[in-house]
A and B are shown apart, each in its own frame.
Chain A
């Protein structure tokens, strides 16, 4: 008897925990999901021939991709199309992303926009999409030409996000500040082997080559804040005279800041981040980080949806490529940058008339 009661209590206890957890979880997601709800009701009012856009990003737990999502959703709302954003659970799940992409092709989305993890991993899905006549818009670095040829696949439009350019901008900024006297700098790398890691480092290194500036350390911290902190602290031990650190994303840059705080060196060393997240902006305002690079993720995401809709409506195979220059955000323009989010799209119409779709035209 006793035993049974015990068991029952156990079961009740477990159920209670599970229920509380899931309720709590649901409560949280409901808050986030409000936007989505309102959108759904709007859509219900539209005609059945609505356009469905599939949007594949890398990993939504990274703020960078959340910015993407926001930009894309803003455009979708304006254009009155339905947008489904999918991600994979980590930034190195190449195969998982391909599965997601293939799933979208099978579900006959009207167009697919994708930020592939590497410049090759989604190409099989692109070939599938071509076969079905689904436009494919690339919003990451350019896909590998060779492999594209091999699969006989074609991309409708490249809304290029250039990691290399970001590295170049960071390099130029360091040159501007330290160029004359020279000095030591360090790089905090992301996950080893990823395109974002390789290209940003390459851009940075190429820019600094031949100058008086010397890269004395380049160490991986796997995009993680706590790793970045430990690595930075160790680097500072070996190279106390470092003048600047380029962290390949803002999350790691904030880890560098934490290391500086511990070493009591905040403000003495330039910390340059990348991605342009709100947290980084705050940190720049507080005078902790020196600068970050706005990868214009929001805009790229915004225009990529335009491009997708345009390809569907006008039934086009190819659209001109679209490049936006990343911008450097320093203490000087950080206020502006913060207010600009979400960015004023109007000014950019002129620059990008190629893919911009007059909103009124669609809604009619």
Chain B
């Protein structure tokens, strides 16, 4: 019914979708699986019309379609329910469902609200729930908003509806109800595409699965004919037989620099405890949304915690703030360089020395000579490729920007380094350099915490890894146990 043939899509530098071919049958729930960055989001955006494909054909009911926009897709009968629910918070349910459609507009351009409300109500009624469609959707709970988003997706006799991580924000009861609705839609002849990270859901509801890896199609199978372990293996391209890697040369000492006891924040992360020793690299990983980033931020006082305690360098910190963290020699390298890391319009030198100018200054006056010397030293030490110290930081490549951020904390002589996704968007060569720097930090007696969703990165850099699932600690693996297959199994909740 929906046939995809040789679909390709490239972004500068990456081939996001590479020659993908498969078919979705009428009335089935089809799970589309892939590891982070496998290209599944790009693919469904092509199907829904949000992106335009570079090559290949999409055939819907024997008609070759080339969509120009999501609105166009909707008219053809392809709807999408986004993870971040693309509703307008201040409009009511009925207005949201039919947003952008001209159906209820009369010749004068006025909207026939009564007819629209009736239609909206009948759409919602088939879900078997009551929703007040006259109040702004921001006043509704997430699960109800989602139903409105679904109603929007099927509002024009939908043939295909795409769900992007629909259960991410739902509790179990709500998720079950959603599955019921999805099943009902499928029984009515609508084809559903489900994107999810949770394999248990796949087995609960999907009829067939398609696996993708690195932008390529891997396999399409009936759910009954594939096991969870097989899926993880196929998703990540790692098989049981992969050799045991050589463990990192650990320089861990017994001096505890960080200790977290039962820290929690809402449902984002719960009861997480760990210690970080001088000379070691601890990795925290998990699927997207597992809470690892938030824990890192909590350690630097950027995110709050509700419960639990954080001990830095033997001081129990009552109220964590960035200032307190810096005082306790914590360095924070954000996953978002542009927002939390660098002054993009400032010069390389000013960025590198930012943490130290206060200490070097005499009576408030800058020590400009020392700044130059130290900045130059850092540029040489970390091999930062710049045209000059006055070059604006924003004009550098991602890898060099990351090095500048590292440099400023090295200058500060921080002892606890927290790195979030330290090599996201960085080319492979620089990536390796940064991994080397991370190992070097530990050898030089710092404690390093690496938060990354990239398994290879964790394996390359860490002595020990903590794996989170849904905000809870799922397991801890030592350096020797850090095998890709094993980690992935834990990450996906198989083990």
> Smallest Cβ distance from A2 to chain B, in angstroms?
8
A1 at the A/B interface (Cβ < 8 Å)? yes
A3 at the A/B interface (Cβ < 8 Å)? yes
> Smallest Cβ distance from A10 to chain B, in angstroms?
15
Chain B residues near A1 (CB, 8 Å)? 318-319
As a 0/1 sequence over residues 1 to 35 of chain A, the CB contacts with chain B under 8 angstroms (1 = contact) are 11100000000000000000000000000000000
Q: How far is the CA of A200 from the CA of B321 in the complex (A)?
A: 65
Q: How far is the CA of A2 from the CA of B321 in the complex (A)?
A: 11
Q: In chain B, residues 310-344, which have Cβ atoms closer than 8 Å to a Cβ of chain A?
A: 318-319, 321
Chain A residues near B321 (CB, 8 Å)? 3
Please, which residue of chain B has its CB at the minimum distance from the CB of A1? B318
> Smallest Cβ distance from B101 to chain A, in angstroms?
41
Please, which residue of chain A has its CB at the minimum distance from the CB of B318? A1
Chain A residues near B319 (CB, 8 Å)? 1-3
Chain B residues near A3 (CB, 8 Å)? 319, 321
Chain B residues near A2 (CB, 8 Å)? 319
Residue count of chain A within 8 Å CB distance of chain B: 3
Q: How far is the CA of A3 from the CA of B321 in the complex (A)?
A: 9
Please, which residue of chain B has its CB at the minimum distance from the CB of A4? B319
> Smallest Cβ distance from B56 to chain A, in angstroms?
57
Q: How far is the CA of A2 from the CA of B320 in the complex (A)?
A: 11
> Smallest Cβ distance from A109 to chain B, in angstroms?
43
Q: How far is the CA of A162 from the CA of B425 in the complex (A)?
A: 76
Please, which residue of chain B has its CB at the minimum distance from the CB of A2? B319
Q: How far is the CA of A2 from the CA of B319 in the complex (A)?
A: 9
Q: How far is the CA of A1 from the CA of B319 in the complex (A)?
A: 7
Chain A residues near B318 (CB, 8 Å)? 1
Q: How far is the CA of A2 from the CA of B324 in the complex (A)?
A: 11
Please, which residue of chain A has its CB at the minimum distance from the CB of B321? A3
Q: How far is the CA of A324 from the CA of B438 in the complex (A)?
A: 91
> Smallest Cβ distance from A110 to chain B, in angstroms?
49
> Smallest Cβ distance from A4 to chain B, in angstroms?
8
Q: How far is the CA of A1 from the CA of B318 in the complex (A)?
A: 8
> Smallest Cβ distance from A7 to chain B, in angstroms?
11
Q: How far is the CA of A115 from the CA of B44 in the complex (A)?
A: 70
Q: How far is the CA of A331 from the CA of B321 in the complex (A)?
A: 71
> Smallest Cβ distance from A301 to chain B, in angstroms?
52
Q: In chain B, residues 399-434, which have Cβ atoms closer than 8 Å to a Cβ of chain A?
A: none
> Smallest Cβ distance from B143 to chain A, in angstroms?
37
Q: How far is the CA of A2 from the CA of B318 in the complex (A)?
A: 10
Q: How far is the CA of A3 from the CA of B301 in the complex (A)?
A: 13
Q: How far is the CA of A1 from the CA of B320 in the complex (A)?
A: 11
> Smallest Cβ distance from A5 to chain B, in angstroms?
11
> Smallest Cβ distance from B302 to chain A, in angstroms?
15
> Smallest Cβ distance from A152 to chain B, in angstroms?
37
As a 0/1 sequence over residues 333 to 358 of chain A, the CB contacts with chain B under 8 angstroms (1 = contact) are 00000000000000000000000000
As a 0/1 sequence over residues 50 to 83 of chain A, the CB contacts with chain B under 8 angstroms (1 = contact) are 0000000000000000000000000000000000
As a 0/1 sequence over residues 198 to 220 of chain A, the CB contacts with chain B under 8 angstroms (1 = contact) are 00000000000000000000000
> Smallest Cβ distance from B153 to chain A, in angstroms?
46
Q: In chain B, residues 453-485, which have Cβ atoms closer than 8 Å to a Cβ of chain A?
A: none
Q: How far is the CA of A2 from the CA of B327 in the complex (A)?
A: 14
> Smallest Cβ distance from A98 to chain B, in angstroms?
34
Q: How far is the CA of A248 from the CA of B483 in the complex (A)?
A: 89
Q: In chain B, residues 282-321, which have Cβ atoms closer than 8 Å to a Cβ of chain A?
A: 318-319, 321
> Smallest Cβ distance from A361 to chain B, in angstroms?
65
As a 0/1 sequence over residues 167 to 191 of chain A, the CB contacts with chain B under 8 angstroms (1 = contact) are 0000000000000000000000000
Q: In chain B, residues 258-279, which have Cβ atoms closer than 8 Å to a Cβ of chain A?
A: none
> Smallest Cβ distance from B317 to chain A, in angstroms?
11
Q: How far is the CA of A228 from the CA of B321 in the complex (A)?
A: 54
> Smallest Cβ distance from A9 to chain B, in angstroms?
16
Q: How far is the CA of A2 from the CA of B315 in the complex (A)?
A: 15
Could you tell me which B residues sit within 8 Å of A by CB distance?
318-319, 321
5 nearest A-B residue pairs (beta carbon): A3-B319, A1-B318, A3-B321, A1-B319, A2-B319
Listed by A's residue number, 5 A-B pairs whose Cβ atoms lie within 8 Å are A1-B318, A1-B319, A2-B319, A3-B319, A3-B321
